[in-house]
Amino acid sequence: MNETATTSTLPVQDARIYPRGGLDVLSRTEVARLRDASSGGMHELLRRCALAVLTSGSASDDPRAARDLYPDFDIQVAQQDRGVRIDLKSAPAMAFVDGEIIRGVAELLFAVVRDLAWTAIELGPEYAQDLETPAGITDAVFGLLRNARVLRPADPNLVVCWGGHSISREEYIYTKQVGYELGLRGLDICTGCGPGAMKGPMKGATIAHAKQRKASSRYIGITEPGIIAAESPNPIVNELVIMPDIEKRLEAFVRLGHGIIVFPGGVGTAEEILYLLGILMHEDNADLPFPLILTGPTIAAPYFEQIDRFLRLTLGEAATSRYEIIVGDPATVAKKMAAGIRKVREARIAHKDSFYFNWALRIPAEFQHPFVPSHEAMAALDLHHGRPPSALAADLRRAFSGIVAGNVKEEGMRRIEAHGPFEIHGAPDMMLALDGLLRAFVEQRRMKIAGEYRPCYRVVA
């Protein structure tokens, strides 16, 4: 390893590293396919995701920021008989200490190569037909999680925590307090892997796990290529999984986790809430226990009141039976989540379902097929009353997903720059409520971490 001069104004370093765990025992044919995938059409994607983990802990949510700061960065996967070798050129010096790559950063980098290669090799164009059915998509999600070695037979104890990357200091402290209470009860944490409400619960749990002398703590981060550059993994993540798209990422959360806690957030958090409620309100899941708690500090009470009103207006009063709102009480949140997970365990035993992957959960096809947020697709969403709650939730989820793309995903940002804001049409009262919710997100600075926010959408009644 040695220092190298580049056009970057920041310190950079070349490196050669040898992966462990999953990439260290490969046949020559597998290594050749991995190398071909990484040097072919997915190379730019690999480069972008690798740069995101090498700048782990970055406070920026601009997906172009790291690329602009390190324009000469490159990554190559080389073949050799002992497995694979990863060559880094002009890598951010922040990923190294005394000339050696930080071990946690290296592990995240290996995860990037592993998951993108698996997707390219096992979910390539020749497998497109397999991904047309709900069962085929679920099998693909299972395969990715198993390949990442996150499916481990053990008693249910994994809490998924959702929430915004752009939250207030008081809200962030609260997420740590909840994580601490969860950790004291032996519960592990899974989040979207980024900053804010994705980092806080993990940070709180680390202290609690240490106090309880928990030998093997799990801090799982699940992301996808379109968003990882804007939400760089936080340093606490010790198991990273990169799913191919947002829909498979969301399915991974609900198949892997045993309960979900939602902290304050923006459009991405609203998308997650609508995704889960749309699934839980499906008749096939009516009797399936799945604890869902919305929580935040006392100052977040108005936020959850507005979310609650929006859900009642759009999905109906029945939606409220699937979640509970708890404000300003981390201990109660943890106690109720632990109790809910005990019911999940009992149900899994009764139905002979696995503890590590929720096969019994029915996910309708409209929640599984990738949504490409073009201007035409966004304008065509059917946001009107009279539809089954699950179907309406699917389109509302797509609306928020499109706004996420316009806010922080490079492809979505390019669409907005080229054609102007997305237009969202629907029932007048629904659009009024949606506009009010989005305006509140903007005023509370939940859309972007830094800089003045320019809306990528226009709500049309």
CA 330 to centroid of chain Cα atoms = 23
Q: Which of 30-44, 211-225, 264-278 has the lowest mean pLDDT?
A: 30-44
CB-CB contact of 292 with 324 (8 Å): yes
Average pLDDT over residues 103-122: 88
Considering 76-85, 108-117, 284-293, the range whose residues carry the highest mean pLDDT is: 284-293
User: Across the chain, what does the average pLDDT equal?
Assistant: 89
Which range in 102-111, 112-121, 179-188, 265-274 is most confidently predicted, on average pLDDT?
A: 179-188
Higher pLDDT, 118 or 391: 391
Q: What is the dihedral of CA 394, 395, 396, 401, to 10 degrees?
A: 90
The whole domain housing 208 covers 140-363
Domain assignment present for residue 132? The answer is no
The answer as to whether 242 is a domain residue is yes
Residue 313 within a domain? yes
Specify whether 110 is located in the same domain as 226: no
Would you state the pLDDT for residue 5? Answer: 40
Region 211-229: mean pLDDT is 92
Which tens digits make up the pLDDT trace of 248-268?
Answer: 999 999 999 999 999 999 999
Of the candidates 329, 363, 397, which is a domain's last residue? 363
Report the percent of the chain where pLDDT is more than 90: 70
Closest CA to 149 of 356, 334, 364: 356
Q: Are residues 117 and 169 in the same domain?
A: no
**Is the residue at 253 inside a domain?**
yes
Same domain as 213, residue 86: no
Higher pLDDT, residue 127 or 11:
11
Average pLDDT over residues 98-114: 91
Decide if 6 is inside a domain: yes
Say what the pLDDT of residue 123 is.
78
- The share of the chain scoring above pLDDT 70, in percent, equals 89
How far apart are the C-alpha atoms of 276 and 118, rounded to whole Å? 27
Angstrom distance (rounded) from CA 245 to CA 203: 27
pLDDT for 62 equals 66
144 and 283 housed in the same domain:
yes
Domain boundary among 54, 88, 122: 122
Strand partners, 459: 424
Q: Do 287 and 340 share a domain, yes or no?
A: yes
**Averaged over 364-383, what is the pLDDT?**
95
- Category of 143 on φ-ψ map: left (φ > 0), alpha (ψ -120 to 50) or beta: alpha
Same domain, 111 and 192: no
456 CB-contact burial (10 Å; exposed 0-12 / middle 13-18 / buried 19+): buried
- My answer on whether 91 and 144 are in the same domain is no
- pLDDT tens digits, one per residue of 2-61: 444 445 567 889 998 887 655 656 666 666 766 676 666 678 888 889 999 998 866 666
In the predicted model, is pLDDT for residue 448 greater than 90?
Answer: no
Distance from chain centroid for Cα 312: 26
Domain boundary among 348, 363, 378: 363
Mark whether 371 and 357 lie in a shared domain.
no
Q: Is residue 85 within 8 Å of residue 31, measured between CB atoms?
A: no
345 and 405 belong to one structural domain: no
- Mean pLDDT of the 121-141 span: 84
Q: Is residue 128 part of a domain?
A: no
Identify whether residues 388 and 409 lie together within a single domain.
yes
Per-residue model confidence (pLDDT) at position 132: 86
Find the mean pLDDT for residues 64-86: 80
Same domain, 64 and 108: yes
Look at residue 401 in the predicted model and tell me its pLDDT.
Answer: 94
Assess whether 265 and 336 both reside in one domain.
Answer: yes
Mean pLDDT computed over 144-163: 95
Q: Which positions ≥6 away from 393 have C-beta within 8 Å?
A: 274, 275, 277, 278, 281, 314, 315
Higher pLDDT, 231 or 327: 327
Identify the pLDDT of residue 81. 63
pLDDT digits (tens, 9 = 90+) for 278-302: 999 999 999 999 999 999 999 999 9
User: Is residue 318 in a domain?
Assistant: yes
3-state secondary structure of 338: helix
**Within-domain flag for 135:** no
- The pLDDT of residue 424 is above 60: yes
Q: Specify the number of domains making up the chain.
A: 3
CATH of the domain at 321: 3.40.50.450
Secondary structure (DSSP) of 202-237: HHHHHHHHHHTT-SS--EEEEE-HHHHTTSPPPTT-
